[in-house]
Amino acid sequence: MGRMQMELHTGIDLAVALIQQDTLPDLLKTATSQLETTFGLSRCWALELDLSGRTLHCSDLAEDGEFDCGDFSHPFAHVLQTGQARELTRAASYRLDHPGFQALFDASNRPRSLWLEPLSGDDGRTLGMLVLCRDEPEWAGITAQPLYLGLRQLLVHQWITQLQSRDQVWQRRLLKRSLDHLHDAETVRNRCDQLARTLVGNSQAMTRLRAQIVRAAGSQLSVLIQGETGCGKDVVAQGIHQLSGRADGPMVVVNCAAIPDTLLETELFGHTKGAFSGADQTKEGLLAQADGGTLFLDEIGDMPMALQSKLLRVLESRKFRPLGAREEQRSDFRLVAATHQPLQAGIEDGSFRRDLFYRLSQFPLRVTPLRERPEDLEALSRHFIRHYTEREGAGPMGISSHALHLLSGYDFPGNVRELRNIIELACLQTPVGDDIQPEVLRLNDLFEAPETWVAEPAVAGHEALSWLPDPDEIRDLKAAAQAFEAAIIRERLRQYGGNRAQAAESLGLPKRTLAHKCLKYQVSES
Ligand SMILES: Nc1ncnc2c1ncn2[C@@H]1O[C@H](COP(=O)(O)OP(=O)(O)OP(=O)(O)O)[C@@H](O)[C@H]1O
């Protein structure tokens, strides 16, 4: 084979190897080692200009491989600025005290001569630099060779291709990220809008709360909802469940304050048949029922200490043992807890476990009292009016600005629940087609009633009246008269099986008046 042919062969082999590299680091490694072997160099380096255009990187120099393009204590800055290749002698190299350059010089075994060659694309984009090292200072013998020129040209071409594809990957990634972001933002907005149908109110506090709920729903974290009584904690818990991935699963609600301490444990954990006297069948606990869904523990502050420890264990292991059972069971539920009492106080007086508090409040939510967000009054009032008219089949009604003004001066100790009651009572007294007026707003009313008669349950027969106070003991005639009225209505409703129309007729009252009184005295049909 002639020399020309040999060279051609070598050239083609080298070119093929370069073209086959599909990452920039591989390309640079291949090119430098080709240059070393083909031209008998003691060492060859490729320095790469970073994306900012301010630093040259030499990935083969572990620690010191960074060269600031504005720092003229190493020779590369000057070469990049002029765009001209140049030689650097050993003597000159010794005089440059840039640590990175000295490291490179050392790692090249301090050659007698270095050739620094800047590389840039046709469009002028600077790519980086080649540094060739050898002990023979005669560089033209190499750099003028067609093989060298050809390889350098091919290297530049491939380098640009690599950068372009890297740019494209970046651009695609950036585009995807911004699309994801847009998509996320839109989903969050849609969910907040959806939530606004049940969790009404456009105050800043409500808007923020809805956004937090959407975020909480998207996580698996335990949520602790704190807020005064009647401010909407239950609605918040429902919202979390509905917007979560568990919406198709069960939502099990337990009011810890409503279940006697002794029963709460068996209710939660369940029991086997014969676990205790009276346990004549196996009963699945609420923890098991919540599998795949959400467990809502309302009034968690009322949970007895002993049960708090057991709950903590369940939350940590997701396992529990029904009373009397040998085997442990597993349940995959998301816990949402709520309280109207500040748990911090419970922790301080030793009635609530601190570690449970932290475990429950992985995602804490606070519902603002209604008096601190008067902007919500109008939307909430209209929401409850609409509810009332739909439920009662009544015609449309509104609320006057005077009535709203009156509401905005009231402090709502019972929060939204109280507003709902006030509005419903007012609806009863407002002719269809009219607006609710200030006169029919019974502020403070529900809180005036003495507890003794409001909460009294219906009892069989006329005994329902027997608990009334002894006439001699009556100190408040209005309250006693109301209690008597409430007891009669409760009794009459019981007689007519909850039929309001018949009960009203039997008492000579319009149905609307009876409904009004039921609401006022919190008498239910059952
Ligand atoms: N933002 C709201 N939008 C619409 N209705 C609401 C809102 N907040 C509360 N309500 C309504 O007010 C009433 C009381 O709310 P809820 O039962 O959620 O309060 P709570 O904080 O759980 O009370 P408690 O502390 O007594 O358990 C419910 O009828 C509920 O639907």
- Whether residues 302 and 435 fall in one domain: no
Asked whether residue 136 carries a pLDDT value surpassing 70, the answer given is: yes
pLDDT at residue 512 in the model: 74
- Do 44 and 109 fall within a single domain? yes
Residue 32 shares a structural domain with residue 150? yes
Lowest mean pLDDT: which of 383-392, 459-468, 504-513? 459-468
Do 473 and 382 fall into the same domain? no
Q: Is residue 42 part of a domain?
A: yes
Does residue 199 fall inside a structural domain?
no
Enclosing H/E stretch for 226: strand 223-226
Residues in contact with ligand 1 by the CB-under-6-Å rule are 199-201, 227, 229-235, 298, 340, 380, 383, 416-417, 420
Q: Are 350 and 417 found together in one domain? A: no
In a domain, 233, yes or no: no
Residue 180 lies in a domain: no
Domain membership flag for residue 240: no
* Nearest 10 degrees: Cα torsion 467, 468, 469, 471: -140
Q: Report the distance separating Cα 267 and Cα 307, nearest Å.
A: 12
Domain count, the chain: 4
Segment 11-16 shows an average pLDDT of: 88
| Nearest residue (CA) to ligand 1, atom 31 | 235
* Same-domain pairing of 28 and 128: yes
User: Do strands 86-89 and 113-120 pair parallel, antiparallel, or not at all (unpaired)?
Assistant: antiparallel
- The answer for 363, left when phi > 0, alpha when psi is -120 to 50, beta otherwise, is beta
152 and 68 in a single domain? The answer is yes
pLDDT at 447: 43
Name which residue sits closest to atom 12 of ligand 1, judged by CA. 417
ipTM for the predicted complex comes to: 0.98
Domain holding 19: CATH number? 3.30.450.40
Measured by CA distance, the residue closest to atom 29 of ligand 1 is 417
Report CA(398)–ligand 1 centroid distance (Å). Answer: 22
> What average pLDDT is seen over the chain?
87
DSSP H stretches of helix in 376-414: 377-392, 401-408
- Asked, for residue 253, whether it belongs to a domain, the answer is yes
pLDDT tier, 457 (very low <50, low <70, confident <90, very high otherwise): very low
Shared domain for 385 and 315, answered yes or no, is: no
67 and 150, same domain (yes or no): yes
Percent of the chain as helix, strand, coil, to the nearest 5:
55, 15, 35
Q: What is the pLDDT of residues 75-117, one digit of tens each?
A: 999 998 888 999 999 999 999 989 999 999 999 999 999 999 9
- Res. 4: pLDDT tops 80: no
Structural domain ending residue among the three candidates 393, 424, 448: 448
DSSP state, 231? S
Residue 8 lies in a domain: yes
Q: Which residues contact 416 (CB under 8 A, 6 or more apart)?
A: 230, 231, 232, 370, 380
Summarised one tens digit per residue, pLDDT across range 327-380 is 899 999 999 999 998 898 899 999 999 999 999 999 999 999 999 999 999 999
Query: Which residue among 417, 420, 423, 519 is best mutated to probe the pocket of ligand 1, counting the most ligand atoms within 8 A of its Cβ?
Result: 417
Cα–Cα distance for residue pair 234/406, rounded to 1 Å: 27
pTM greater than 0.80 (yes/no): no
Instruction: Answer yes or no: is pLDDT of 469 > 70.
Output: no
Closest CA to 388 of 432, 353, 344: 432
CA of 222 to the centre of ligand 1 (A): 20
What pLDDT score does 121 carry? 86
Q: Which residue has the tokens 């939307």?
A: 379
Sequence letter at residue 473: E
Residue where a domain stops, chosen among 152, 167, 182: 167
Structural domain range at position 472: 453-526
Q: Report how far ligand 1's centroid is from the alpha carbon of 462 (Å).
A: 35
Secondary structure of residue 305 in the 3-state scheme: helix
Whether 463 maps to a domain, the answer reads yes
Q: Can you read off the two tokens belonging to residue 526?
A: 């059952």
Q: Ligand 1 center to residue 210 CA distance, Å?
A: 14
DSSP state of 421: H
What local confidence, expressed as pLDDT, does residue 374 receive? 96
Looking at the structure, do residues 462 and 394 belong to the same domain, yes or no?
no
CATH number of domain containing 488: 1.10.10
DSSP string, 243-282: HSTTTTS-EEEEETTTS-HHHHHHHHHEE-TTSSTT--S-
Three-state secondary structure call for residue 497 = coil
Q: Determine the distance separating the centroid of ligand 1 and the alpha carbon of 234, expressed in angstroms.
A: 6
Residues 363 and 381 in one domain: no
Distance 235 CA to ligand 1 centre (A): 6
Q: What is the mean pLDDT of residues 157-162?
A: 92
Please say which residue of 368, 394, 410 terminates a domain.
368
> For the domain that residue 374 is a member of, what is the CATH number?
1.10.8.60
Say yes or no: 20 and 143 in one domain: yes
